[in-house]
Structure 1
Amino acid sequence: MKNNILILILTIIFMSCSSKSFDDKEKLWEYLRDSENGYLHTKNVNGYDFSIVYKPTDLMVTQELGQEYTKEDVEKFRKKYKKYIYFTLSMSRDNKELLSSTPKNRQEFGAMVNNLAFGMGEKVHVYTTKKDTLELLDYVYPRMYGMSKSTDMLFVYPRDENYLQDEYLNITVGDLGTYTGEVKFKIPTQKIKNEPKINF
């Protein structure tokens, strides 16, 4: 009887720690965008909507695969992208991009363009609860010229297992002329270590 209870407890622990898997990237995105699953974090500050979502390795892999691929292709790209962690930051006001909703004149517009294109390394920081800062390796800011409902950016950091030993990663987004002050998020590292996968 005691053995059966022990096996049941171990099974529950294992299942809660194991990664979820999905048949395609659309179903994975649906799971990620449900804030109850712990990957999407949102805040509204001073009329601005901010969201951070962790982008699992397999979503990066799907960008490399064509219509036909082998298991070896999948593993090759998983190995390539597994070295890094990816966050997508979205910012909007009234369902519009920042450049469409915030600047009041040409000078403010130019300053914001410069910040978004070249200055986000100074505005967005990721650090552990011990205040160790992760090095920003790259970020991607695609200009949408008012065609999108939000300003979306991809941030890339090294996947350092020492940093992932902490319970949380803290992400701060500095003020971009929005008068929102510094916006802070706490991302559970367990969600990154047990990231969901795609059944390729």
Structure 2
Amino acid sequence: MSANAGISLLIITVLCFFSCSTKSFNTKEEMWGYLKNKDNGYLQSKNINGYDFSLIYKPTDLLVEQELGEDRSKQKIKELRDKYKNQIYFTLSMSRNNKELLSTTPKNRQEFGAMVNQLAFGMREKVHVFTQQKDTLELLDYNYPRMYGMSQSTTMLFVYPRDESYLKEETLNFTIQDLGTYTGEVKFKIETDKIKKEPNLKLN
């Protein structure tokens, strides 16, 4: 092998090491900054018919940090990581003119009540994650916190099982059916590599 070829191989190896290694952050603020930078592939957004949709993957350690109290021992951190590591988490935000859906979409009290019911109890029928082979992931849970017009968006957390069989695929599809917004189906493609190499926090 020539000297130039050897140097090229070394450069490629070093670049691969830094691009393929897991990112680690000292604080949740640093991690959120990284996640919200679209160049890093964890945040996607679309504007359709005046509505803003954004989807962000939420790494395990953010949930661990959220639940950690004064006990930040290695044992407690491991306990919480074990609690959350078998699921994957997505935060979906939807808004219009920087306001919640309930503040902008319903035209009357009846439509308002129907949308409240849809958001609180009916999102299993509206939001789907599936593989390239059209296998649908089971929605384990979702959380819709009522903000009563005090937030700039309707934000929900969706929880799915972490299964190595579907993580072998390059992408997953995340779709939101029309919620009365006349946006049609909204679709995001998620790179599974981002999930497998999700960033972590230096928690102790």
**Would you say same fold, with TM above 0.5?**
yes
Matched, 1:58 2:33: no
For 1:152, the equivalent position in structure 2 comes to: 155
Give matches, 1:172-187, under 5 Å. 172-187=175-190
**What displacement does 1:5 show?**
4.1
How far apart in 1 are the matches of 2:177 and 2:17?
39
Q: Which residue of 2 aligns with 1:41?
A: 44
- Give the SS at the match of 1:162: helix
1:4-153 pair list within 5 angstroms: 4-153=7-156
CA distance in structure 2 between the partners assigned to 1:108 and 1:181 by the alignment: 18
Q: Which moved more, 1:59-68 or 1:91-100?
A: 59-68
Per-residue deviation, 1:7? 3.8
Q: Which amino acid aligns with 1:58?
A: D
Task: Give the count of matched residue pairs.
Answer: 200
Matching of residue 194 in structure 1 with residue 197 in structure 2: yes
The Cα offsets for residues 110-151 of structure 1, whole Å up to 9 and x where unpaired, read as 110110000000000001111111100000000000000000
Shift of residue 3, structure 1, vs aligned partner: 4.8
Question: Which amino acid in the other structure matches residue 171 of structure 1?
Answer: F
In 1, the alpha carbon distance for the partners of 2:8 and 2:179 equals 54
Q: Give the residue type in structure 2 aligned to 1:172.
A: T
More off after superposition, 132-141 vs 15-24: 15-24
Report the secondary structure of 1:170's partner residue. strand
Structure 2: unaligned runs, 5 residues or longer? none
Letter in 2 for 1:145: Y
Greater alpha carbon shift after TM alignment, 159-168 vs 72-81: 72-81
Equivalent pairs: percent with the same residue? 67
Q: What is the deviation of 1:188?
A: 0.6
The alignment yields a C-alpha RMSD, in angstroms, of 1.2
| Structure-1-length-normalised TM-score | 0.96
Q: What SS does structure 1 have at the residue aligned with 2:67?
A: coil
Q: Structure 1: 5+ residue runs without aligned partners?
A: none
For 2:118 and 2:178, how far apart are their aligned partners in 1?
Answer: 10
